[in-house]
Structure 1
Amino acid sequence: MLSLIQVLLLAIKIYTWIIIASAIFSWLYAFNVVNPRNQFISMIGNALYSLTEPALRPIRSILPDLGGIDISPIVLLLILFFVQQLIVNNLAPLAL
């Protein structure tokens, strides 16, 4: 049981880094720091988008329109941190 909890926590940490990478990539893309015509950059962008968009889309539909500011990654990170702490504080002691 403890191994399953550790794998779940690792998956949450990896997805957290994917969300952060996606946000940074979107900033780099928006300010033309990276070349959008480069095939490798395009593949990275598409992979990050396809990994994060299914989780961010429902949050974006709930949040009000803030103009050009997208805070849905921040909300998703807060949700992930909450779930992580919920697992650590409630499920991990039961597995010991």
Structure 2
Amino acid sequence: MNVSGAFLFLITTLFDIYISIVLARFILQMVRADFYNPISQFIVKATNPFLIPLRRVVPGYRGLDIASLALFLIVVAIKLGLYIFVFSDAAGVPILGLIIFALKSIANTVINFFLFVIFVSAILSWVTAASGGYNPFADILRQIAEPVLAPARKIIPPMGGLDISPMLVMLALIFIKNLFQLNGMP
């Protein structure tokens, strides 16, 4: 029985979910997404307990919510600290190695977030188009993905009603992950 492995899986999964919610909060404010969307409201309520006290210390800057970015970095650092504590001897790792490990983990998290958003947004666009209805989750994902997909649409515009820009962006993101060896990062 692998109790420590199962426990570590559970803890890292819970951290990853919350990290994604905090990252979504930062990105939703960056892209000026619909605040009254039920998904936006859930993200606000899930992050407010930690963000409200943090905003007293970390102010915003030019319309950006720096406190949510700081919370994102803090939660990632806590997760990595747990990971290093369980899997290695932190005393034997040089500080530069820890910084590189943290930066690669942050980059991997952001890229995986956008891969998920673009993939699910593309699938939901087919489903909502077929049903002809409104889906608040699909709307928020579209608002998050649009700034990333817009440059790709300038290169390859939709052809005959088929938009292949999500595939182009996803290939570029996976290329970046492979180029910087981000696969397998916690």
Q: TM-score range by the shorter chain?
A: 0.7 to 0.9
Aligned partner letter, 2:139 = N
Runs of 4 or more, structure 1, over 3 Å off, are none
What is the distance in 2 between the residues matched to 1:69 and 1:23? 11
Q: Write the deviation string for residues 20-60 of structure 1: whole angstroms up to 9, x where unpaired.
A: 1100110001101x732xxxx2x212211111000111111
Structure 1 position 65, deviation (Å) = 4.3
Question: Which residue is 1:74 aligned to?
Answer: 167
Aligned length: 84
Match of 2:133 in 1: 35
CA contact 2:158–2:164 (8 Å) conserved in 1: no
- In the TM superposition, 1:34-53 aligns within 5 A as 35-36=133-134, 41=135, 43-53=136-146
The residue number in structure 2 matching 1:94 is: none
Partner of 2:122: 23
The reply to whether residue 8 of structure 1 matches residue 107 of structure 2 is yes
Q: Which moved more, 1:22-31 or 1:5-14?
A: 5-14
- Give the structure-2-normalised TM-score: 0.42
Gaps of at least 5 residues in structure 2 are 1-99
Query: Aligned letter for 2:133?
Result: N
1:84 counterpart residue number: 177
Q: Percent identity?
A: 33
Higher relative contact order (CA 8 A, sep 6+): 1
Contact kept in structure 1, 2:157 and 2:163, CA below 8 Å? no
What RMSD over aligned residues (CA atoms) do the two structures have, in Å? 1.9
Alignment of 1:63 with 2:156, yes or no, is: yes
